[in-house]
Amino acid sequence: MAEQTSIRRIWTSPNYVLFLVGACCNHITTWMQRVGVAWLAWELTGSTAWLGVVAAADLAPMIVLATFAGAVADRSNAARMVRIFQMLFVVQSALLATLTLTQLITIEQLFLLSLMSGIIHPFWLASRQIVMPATVERRDVGTIVAMDSATFQSARFVGPAIAGLLIPIAGVGGVFVAHMIGASLFAMALMAIRVRLPQRLNRGKRRIFGDIADGFRYILGHGGIPYLLLLMAAASVFVRPIQDMLPGLVDQVFDRGAVGLAWITSAMGVGAMISATRIALRGELTGLTFSALAGGLGVVCATVLLVTTHWFWVAVGAAVFFGYTFNSISTSIQALIHSTVEDSMRGRGVSFYMLVFRGMPAIGALSVGTMAEALGLQVACVVSAGACFLVWLLVVPRYRSMAKATELMLRTD
């Protein structure tokens, strides 16, 4: 009998199925909360600068803590670590729901609770990215990375759509209660799974900063990863912030309110879901370097179209294209990094991706938000897209060496 394909094999692992079900619940309500936080910040202030500040509070800690969190995860019991930090997310959403429902919430409190989420995230992600691959065989890691992205992006469509229906009925506080429930369900799933984690090395009295330095040397010495991360950094800093500016764009340009915001956000999720599903169904990692580079060019075009049109449904279509192309970059690069780094270096290797993907958008959110106050939101986003295109032009000539250093290694494993 022919061997099962990777996409079929992963469903035979009870640990992976349990992890996936819990993650889906968490993903959906996470996107609901993201829409709620952005809309609440806009309602409280009506300022694009504050939108950038609140987004940066959630994203910026990743810049400072990502590599440290990766080293801690490589030293620690990652399964216990991810459970602890998942429960902290439950606490954060409970506080947010309570303050909002009692109408005591202020923009300063929203900032502090977003900062709390930002501090939790690096440690949660680093440990999660060690636990998730342990639920399947190593040869299937690339497939479940793409599947994880597909479920996350599917939730990006479903979550905002539900939020758009729920906010007019239950208020913003209702979406925060929903996330408290979704986060709790994932916490219970994490408690139930049993996985065999990579063996932790006995580092004796070696300081954690030595481990971080080893991680830097490992990544910088790789023939492909540094250039992939440079492309991801350009997309994260220059075009990713458009997602944080959506409340202002929807309100100022289209006058569509919270429902319009849900439409645009969900449209991005649809595009991203299609991209991630395409990568997962391929079941192989060869060709993902090209996918990342093609996505880099496509997301620049999508950004310009999204912010310059005055027709709402054209913007919705551009949002689908934006989600597809941005996810082509992020999922392709994440899958390549996951599959090329050594097990003993996984926490630190993935932490660099986390720093770029989740941390660097904080810089972009602040700069684009501030620029938008001075030049207008549409002009600021077009200028940022142009900067992303310039970096793309620098990376493209490295295509062959990048593919050789990642995909060739995978073919010879």
Q: Which DSSP category does 360 fall into?
A: T
CB atoms within 10 A of CB 84: 14
pTM equals 0.69
Phi-psi region of 207 (alpha: psi -120 to 50; beta: other; left: phi over 0): beta
Kindly report, residue by residue over 109-164, the tens digit of the pLDDT.
999 999 999 999 889 988 888 888 878 776 777 677 778 877 877 787 788 778 87
Q: What is the pLDDT of residue 413?
A: 44
Given a contact cutoff of 8 angstroms between Cβ atoms, the answer to whether 147 and 132 are in contact is no
Given a contact cutoff of 8 angstroms between Cβ atoms, the answer to whether 190 and 314 are in contact is no
Half-sphere exposure (CA, 13 Å, Cβ side) for 120?
18
Kindly report, residue by residue over 70-109, the tens digit of the pLDDT.
878 877 888 899 999 999 999 999 999 999 999 999 999 9
CA angle centred on 62, ends 60 and 65, rounded to 5°: 120
**Closest by Cα among 180, 171, 181 to 101:** 171
Judge residue 256's burial from the number of C-beta atoms within 10 Å of its C-beta, 0-12 exposed, 13-18 middle, 19 or more buried.
middle
State which H helix or E strand residue 10 sits in.
none
Lowest mean per-residue pLDDT among 22-26, 165-169, 196-200: 196-200
Given a contact cutoff of 8 angstroms between Cβ atoms, the answer to whether 102 and 25 are in contact is no
Exposure pattern of 372-404 as b/e (b: 16+ CB <10 Å)? Answer: bbeeebbebbbebbeebbebbeebeebeeebbe
Kindly report, residue by residue over 197-230, the tens digit of the pLDDT.
765 555 555 576 777 777 677 777 666 778 888 8
CA distance between the termini of the chain:
24
Residue 287 phi, psi (nearest 5):
95, -5
At residue 286, the 3 state secondary structure works out as coil
Q: What is the pLDDT of residue 175?
A: 93
Rounded to whole angstroms, how far apart are CA atoms 127 and 281? Answer: 26
Q: What is the pLDDT of residue 112?
A: 95
Judge residue 310's burial from the number of C-beta atoms within 10 Å of its C-beta, 0-12 exposed, 13-18 middle, 19 or more buried.
exposed
